[in-house]
Amino acid sequence: MLGSGKGSNFMAIADAVAAGRLAAEIAVVVSDVPTAGILDHARARGLRAVHLPPGRFRSKLDEESEPRLIQLLTEARIDWVVLAGFMRILKGEFLRHFEQRVVNIHPSLLPSFPGLEAWKQALAYGVKQTGCTVHLVDQGIDTGPIVAQEAVPVLGDDTPESLHARIQVAEQRVYPAALHQLLSGRVRIEGRRTFPV
Ligand code: GRF
């Protein structure tokens, strides 16, 4: 699992694994941010937690850190890469290496509001419904095949914080469930579309 933030999705996924609702093992948790909550939570659960210095760019890994990440994950013999608030764009070499095996959660109903702070975009646009999307990662930004979505209402008195909090509750429900389907081979991918098997 890769993350840069507080790790609420990590917690929900780790809880689902512990409860037997998600047939998976979390081999390693990696963050580009040394103080990220996701690393503390992983360590508190006895999982391997690694800080990966991202190098000289702000929004992606540089030409040294990307191969280092590929090597680390390969040595950890992972089958899937689960992004949980990882704030660096992964592309090229990394995605070719783990093709169709990188999953992300995005805090909007894609294809609406890709990119950063999607809940703020939704609030500013004035939509009445937004939500979250579990999708496979392709070479675009938040453009890969959609695996699962859950809608949440936007309320009249919402602030960015209250809306994001409501979306995160949905994320913590939908992500472990979608991962269970995906990792146990119950999702067939055909072009952009995915189907239950
Ligand atoms: C989530 O809102 C997720 O949709 C986005 O980043 C946030 C991560 O939060 N990609 P957390 O670190 O899992 O709490």
> Do residues 1 and 95 both lie within one domain?
yes
CA 105 – ligand 1 centroid, Å: 7
Q: What is the largest CA-CA distance in the chain?
A: 49
- Number of folded domains in the chain? 2
Element (H, E) at 66: helix 65-75
Shortest-distance Cα residue to atom 2 of ligand 1: 107
> Do residues 81 and 139 both lie within one domain?
no
CATH number at residue 90: 3.40.50.170
Q: What is the pLDDT of residues 61-89, one digit of tens each?
A: 999 999 999 999 999 999 999 999 999 99
> pTM for the full model?
0.97
Last residue within a domain, chosen from 99, 120, 148: 99
180 C-beta closer than 6 A to ligand 1: no
Q: For residue 171, give the ligand 1 atom closest to its CA.
A: 4
> Do residues 127 and 195 both lie within one domain?
yes
Shortest-distance Cα residue to atom 10 of ligand 1: 85
CA 92 – ligand 1 centroid, Å: 23
Q: Are 5 and 38 in contact, with CB atoms under 8 Å apart?
A: yes
Q: Are 97 and 22 in contact, with CB atoms under 8 Å apart?
A: no
β-pairing verdict for 29-31 and 193-196: unpaired
Q: Are 3 and 86 in contact, with CB atoms under 8 Å apart?
A: yes
Structural domain of 21: 1-99
Last residue within a domain, chosen from 99, 125, 143: 99
State the chain's mean pLDDT as an integer. Answer: 97
Is residue 123 very low, low, confident or very high in pLDDT (cuts 50, 70, 90)?
Answer: very high
Is residue 91 very low, low, confident or very high in pLDDT (cuts 50, 70, 90)?
Answer: confident
Shortest-distance Cα residue to atom 5 of ligand 1: 85
